[in-house]
Amino acid sequence: MAEDIHKMTQTSYDPKDVKEQSILYFGGDDLAANVWMNKYALRNGEDILELSPDMMHRRLAREFARIESAYPNPMSEDEIYELLKDFKYIVPQGSPMSGIGNDYQVVSLSNCFVIGNNGNSDSYGGILKIDQEQVQLMKRRGGVGHDLSHIRPEGSPVKNSALTSTGIVPFMERYSNTTREVAQGGRRGALMLSISIKHPDSENFIDAKLREGKITGANVSVKITDEFMDCVINDKPFIQQYPIDSDTPSVTKEIDARALWNKIIENAWSVAEPGVLFWDTIIRESVADSYSDYGFRTVSTNPCGEIPLCPYDSCRLMAINLYSYVKKPFTSKASFDFELFSKHVQKGQRLMDDLIDLELEKIEKILQKINSDPEDEEIKRVEKNLWLNIKMKCLEGRRTGFGITAEGDMLAALGLKYGSEEAINFSVEVQRTLALSAYRSSVTMAQERGSFPLYDCEREDSNPFVQRIASVDPFLYEDMKKYGRRNIALLTIAPTGTVSICTQTTSGIEPVFMVNYKCRMRLNPNDKDTVGKRLVQDTNGDYFEEYNVFHHKFVEWLKVSGYNVDEVMNMGDEELKDIISKSPYHGATAYDIDWVSKVRMQGAIQKWVDHSISVTVNIPKDTTKEMVSKIYQTAWESGCKGCTIYRDGSRDGVLVSNNDSKKASDSTMFKENNAPKRPKKLEADIVRFQNDKESWIAVVGIYQNHP
């Protein structure tokens, strides 16, 4: 009843006032204001119910405090609010930020899911069941990953009228098209498709995205084994088979491992895909796979690759803002506050566990919605079973995804060059502190709230990640064996994406992209909010609004160093380069750093992340394929769980160099002619659509010219 009254009394705000207050909140940052307003502000349909992010943070704190009150030693609403306020310390990511306390949409708080069938499911029934589950998750705002290694290779006999299997690629197209069909509040869904390198169709999978306009709704990654890498390095043949894990496969195929590796490298260089997942490393290091016989066998990852998951498990994401723990940033006295950081990590992990309870409430509402729908039970069966399976995994494992953002800014603020040996060592120390503090928090919660139901210390005893904890903090390890742990797995490093626009920092583990660049925010061209905006369109037909951006912490460095910020922002390119050369960002942007050192840094930090890390190695256009091969091989040798590269210009990006960006007006300029004078404003409807894979714009209106 109180909840209903609260909903009835919530005020809706004029979008102009929201925009004005949000710009004020973000210190004049129009891009951050737009991102928050369009993606995370509480809405009831078209009505915006929060005037600024401060109201959102109060909403989140209120809900977290409600969950906390059910457990011993609860944190208060004000205590939680101080952690969330101004995006300074603890930052829930997209789905939690928009969904917590949101009674106007029936959505999940999970950022990502993995789906799949138990046992052999190489049938149209199994394939289409996955397709429907993908739709059902995407309409609830979730990103989805699933593996295709269970589908029989092309040309295999089938007992139907087709006689032989079509192989992997047609189903890749099916799942990709499904993703592009499902709208998620002005954004499209996100999908990861993976396949084992052992599968005989893996080369077709690797080549599938080379055809323009095909499989534009999915990221694709290949699951690479240690055996395959050994064959590549030693130039030995490699045996593919189907089924991939069978002792008596029905199909075997000997291939040239080096040639297939070169194909992966060629395509990554050309179109930035496929990414690679070093699957043996993932399984070997996975704490959750200690419980694989209980249904926690990892089969694929979420769309950005930072969360390897078993079927029907999901993960919610939060990040801690590393920059905020640098005292006296950009000065000779800069230091990192490890004591406050550890304290906040432990509180952040409590919030992560609270988020699981909030998600379970959301799942109950989704199930109620399904049950109340007037459709036949048979129609609702797949969707209902999907959410029951997700609920069970949520209860059994209580998996969390606690990560970091602002790594690049933290290092710059401390005067450390991203990718240097000193920076790598310091970053590892920070991540180790985070891991130990989060696991300590999870053990404490096991004492107060109970451990996750499947916990068994003997199952985890030989796990490399758990053994690292035992080696550096034996007291924590002994307490964990004695009391258990609240969460089956805890940590990740996600891209943070638009969330880092709100924190006004570098994203995730990444360095600063550029000190000055254009940023694109994807928009739905038919939304009312896009009217009057100049949009650019990529080759997939998606629309973006472009912003000129100066990196915020570079501006902070300018202020600390005594520069006139307005003067610097209006300098020419050469003058600006001279200023940048004196900053801690010099030689530390995405295109400047040593890319091999970057993946070594990722591998070193990965030792203290029990899930995975989402990293894209940005490389210049003239980078050779040999260098791409070296980056991928070094990533494997360094202990990375995955790697993705993006070569400048290989496909449309969201972050674009100012020098290379083509303005939208470049393709719409009219030459001088004798046509009648046009009115300054024309009332018309703008309709954007696809026509036979081409992007069209229709202007619907009436115009009469009077002499």
pLDDT tens for 530-586 read 666 667 777 677 777 766 678 999 999 999 999 999 898 888 888 988 999 999 999
Cα–Cα distance list, 389 to 141, 360, 363, 517, 707 (Å): 18, 12, 11, 44, 70
**Euclidean distance between CA atoms 455 and 458, whole angstroms:** 9
Ranges in the chain, pLDDT < 50: 1-2, 5, 8, 162-163, 185, 661-678, 680, 682, 685-707
Fold of 112-309: Anaerobic Ribonucleotide-triphosphate Reductase Large Chain (3.20.70)
Q: Which residues pair with 687 in a beta bridge?
A: 698
**Euclidean distance between CA atoms 609 and 485, whole angstroms:** 16
> Which parts of 165-279 are beta strand (E)?
183-184, 187-188, 191-196, 219-224, 237-242, 251-256, 275-278
In sequence order, which residues have a C-beta less than 8 Å from that of residue 371 and are 6 or more positions away? 380, 384
Q: What local confidence, expressed as pLDDT, does residue 248 receive?
A: 95
Q: What local confidence, expressed as pLDDT, does residue 538 receive?
A: 73
Q: What local confidence, expressed as pLDDT, does residue 366 receive?
A: 96
CA angle 562, 564, 568 (to 5 degrees): 120
In sequence order, which residues have a C-beta less than 8 Å from that of residue 266 and are 6 or more positions away? 625
Whether 588 contacts 418, CB under 8 Å: yes
Rg of the chain over Cα atoms, rounded to whole angstroms, equals 26
At residue 50, what is the residue type?
E
- Residue 185, helix vs strand vs coil: coil
* Residue 253: CA count within 13 A, CB half-sphere: 20
Q: Which residues pair with 520 in a beta bridge?
A: 546
List the domain boundaries for the chain.
Answer: 112-309
Count Cβ atoms within 10 A of the Cβ of residue 156 and give its class: 0-12 exposed, 13-18 middle, 19 or more buried. Answer: middle
**Euclidean distance between CA atoms 446 and 483, whole angstroms:** 6
Q: What local confidence, expressed as pLDDT, does residue 653 receive?
A: 52
For residue 511, the 8-state DSSP code is P
How far from each other are the two terminal CA atoms of the chain, in whole angstroms?
66
Q: What local confidence, expressed as pLDDT, does residue 119 receive?
A: 66
Selection from 540, 568, 502 nearest residue 653 by Cα = 540
Cα–Cα distance list, 252 to 86, 323, 639 (Å): 57, 52, 29
Whether 302 contacts 315, CB under 8 Å: yes
- pTM of the predicted protein model: 0.87
**Euclidean distance between CA atoms 274 and 269, whole angstroms:** 9
In sequence order, which residues have a C-beta less than 8 Å from that of residue 630 and are 6 or more positions away? 596
Q: What local confidence, expressed as pLDDT, does residue 189 receive?
A: 78
